Structure 1
Amino acid sequence: MRCIVVLLALLSFFSNAATKESFIDKGQFKYVLYSGVDDSIVEHINHRLTSKTPQLITDFKVKEMPAITVRIWKDRNQYLAYQKHLLGQSYPWSTGYISENEILLRDTGSQSTMDTAYHEYVHLVTTAINPNIINNPRWLWEAIACYEAEKEYGWRKPSTKEEFRQYAKILKEGNGWDSQGAVYRIGYSIGEFIQQSYGSDGLITLIQTNGDISKVTDKPLEQVFDEWIEFTENKYY
């Protein structure tokens, strides 16, 4: 009996160690780090968020944002288990997502995790404009986040025009739900095209109306889609 008690105590200890949390309060952003995450990543992420978000909020005409909790895991299985607990299912390909006033991340390296953190924060800002914008439509939801998160250093575009067109076809036919990550590969160019064509006010209007293109132009969606492809190919290929 004594051996069983000791064994249970050890299992409890290692279970708690596996999910050990540390808390770092940076004011507007509160960080929860799970076992395996180095504290140093907080400085990198917090610098990115605090240096970029004031302008983002101004551009999107959001009066204020609440304090945000940022949860970070190193262990993929723990990250996915929490995701399943929260959302009802897990998405093995994901490295970040949002919940109410929270950003949830898997630490995949300092730079990529920083980029993902800001991408997810853009999502939170768009939900402050329209709580029903989440994946509705997905192409717009992700395109805005891709553009805002990547415009600091530019689009990492598909290598050829043919590859770009392939992703564009997938995106058009699947409305953004695809198995090849099309919206992440070319979403930047959609956000850039909207910004160039309709300005920040047009971008905000599309967020408010869940992508109702008729609110920013008289052109049919099919024509706008073709103009986006032409704009992108002329600029990048």
Structure 2
Amino acid sequence: MDALHWWRQGDAVTQVTALLLLAMSVASWVVIVWKLRLMRRASADVARSTAAFWQAPSLDLASQRLQAFDREALVLPLVVAANSIANSSTAAQASLATQGSLATQLTRVLRDALHGVLGRLQFGQVMLATVGSTAPFVGLLGTVWGIYHALTAMAGAGQITIDRVAGPVGEALIMTAAGLAVAIPAVLAYNVFGRLIGRIEADLEGFARDLRELLIDQAVARGALAPAAGTA
């Protein structure tokens, strides 16, 4: 009942500000819930997928195993990209992309695949940062405008007493609390997810580096690539 009374006594600016805070809160919580599930699955998938890959006897069998372990498709795109270069024929030089050495091609495709994976993991981070940084100011705007609107209305009514001022001003201050209530979960989630993404990114980068070295060593063993200087 009090909320309905506050809504009716507010003008268009106050109501739009309240709706904006509500939309920001709903959007941030949707992202938070979705990313909680994603981060939990991703942390487990990367560890299990990399372990399954290194236990496989061949690259093709490793790709098949990853389809069962890599539910969020974080490790498999790296393996598929590297496998496409390792199995490609060097006879046809159709483009500049195929004219580099095997090491150069592997570096490029693994980097591109890693960027794609990290882009999925980082999805929603910008929105959380935006909500966390702007929601307090949106709430403050609603408070300032609500206080101005309340004082203007009371000034036109004649005599002003503390009892008549306290109620409308106190209701206007609710907007500041609402802005903080929207911003705090978004900021906390942004920081927590950022740390988790950093850990997963480090694991994926290490795996991509090891995978590149493995394929180069295999190419050297097959005689398809000259060994690096200084190696036996």
Common fold by TM > 0.5: no
The structure richer in strand per residue is 1
Q: Could you say which structure has the greater relative contact order, defined with CA pairs below 8 angstroms and 6 or more residues apart?
A: 2
The structure richer in helix per residue is 2
Q: Normalised by the size of structure 1, how large is the TM-score?
A: 0.19
Q: Normalised by the size of structure 2, how large is the TM-score?
A: 0.20
